[in-house]
A and B are shown apart, each in its own frame.
Chain A
Amino acid sequence: MSEMLNTLEQTALSEYKYGWVTDIEADEAPPGLSEDIVRFISAKKNEPEWMLEWRLKAFRHWVKMTEPTWSNVHYPKIDYQSIKYYSAPKQKVTVNSLDEIDPELRATFEKLGISLDEQKRLSGVAVDAVIDSVSIATTFKTQLAELGIIFCSMSEAIKEHPELIKKWLGSVVPMTDNYFTALNSAVFSDGSFCYIPKGVKSPMELSTYFRINAENTGQFERTLIVAEESSYVSYLEGCTAPMRDENQLHAAVVEIVALDNAEVKYSTVQNWYPGNKEGKGGIYNFVTKRGLCAGVNSKISWTQVETGSAVTWKYPSVILKGDNSQGEFYSVAVTNNYQQADTGSKMMHIGKNTRSRIVSKGISAGFSQNSYRGLVQVGKNAINARNFSQCDSLLLGDKCGAHTFPYIEVKNSTAQVEHEATTSKIGEDQIFYCNQRGLDTETAVALIINGFAKEVMNQLPMEFAVEAQKLLAISLEGSVG
Chain B
Amino acid sequence: MLSIKNLQARIEEKEILRGINLDIKPGEVHAIMGPNGSGKSTLASVLAGRADYEVTGGSVEFLGKDLLELSPEDRAREGLFLAFQYPIEIPGVSTTNFIKTAVNEVRKYRGEEPMDAVGFLKLMKERMKLVNIDQSLLSRSLNEGFSGGEKKRNEIFQMAMLEPRLAILDETDSGLDIDALRIVAEGVNKLKSKDNATLVITHYQRLLDYIVPDYVHILYKGRIVKTGGKELALELEERGYDFIKEELGEEVEA
- Which residues of A are in contact with B by a Cβ distance under 8 Å? 427-430, 432-441, 443, 447-448, 450-455
Contact = CB atoms under 8 A, between A and B. Distances in A.
B53 to A, nearest CB: 11
A441 B49 CA distance: 13
Contacts of A454: 92
B106 A438 contact: yes
Given A447-B98, A453-B92, 6 more contacts: A430-B88, A433-B88, A436-B73, A437-B98, A447-B90, A447-B93
B105 interface: yes
Interface residues of B, number: 30
B72 A450 contact: no
Contact of A438 (B73, B90, B97, B141): B73
Interface of B: 48-51, 71-73, 75-77, 81-82, 84, 87-88, 90-93, 97-99, 101-102, 105-106, 109, 141, 158, 162
Contacts of A443: 101, 105
B154 to A, nearest CB: 12
B102 A439 contact: yes
Contacts of A450: 92-93
B50 A438 contact: no
Nearest to A432: B50
B90 A435 contact: no
A437 B90 contact: no
B105 A440 contact: yes
Nearest to B144: A451
Given A435-B71, A436-B72, A429 B102 contact: no
A430 to B, nearest CB: 5
B204 to A, nearest CB: 24
Closest 6 CB pairs of A and B: A451-B92, A451-B93, A435-B72, A437-B102, A433-B88, A438-B76
Nearest to B143: A433
A430 B71 CA distance: 16
A427 B143 CA distance: 15
25 contacts: A427-B88, A430-B90, A432-B48, A432-B72, A434-B102, A435-B71, A435-B72, A435-B76, A436-B73, A436-B76, A436-B81, A437-B105, A437-B158, A437-B162, A438-B73, A439-B101, A439-B102, A439-B105, A440-B73, A443-B101, A443-B105, A447-B93, A448-B93, A451-B90, A455-B92
Contacts of B98: 434, 437, 447
B91 A452 contact: yes
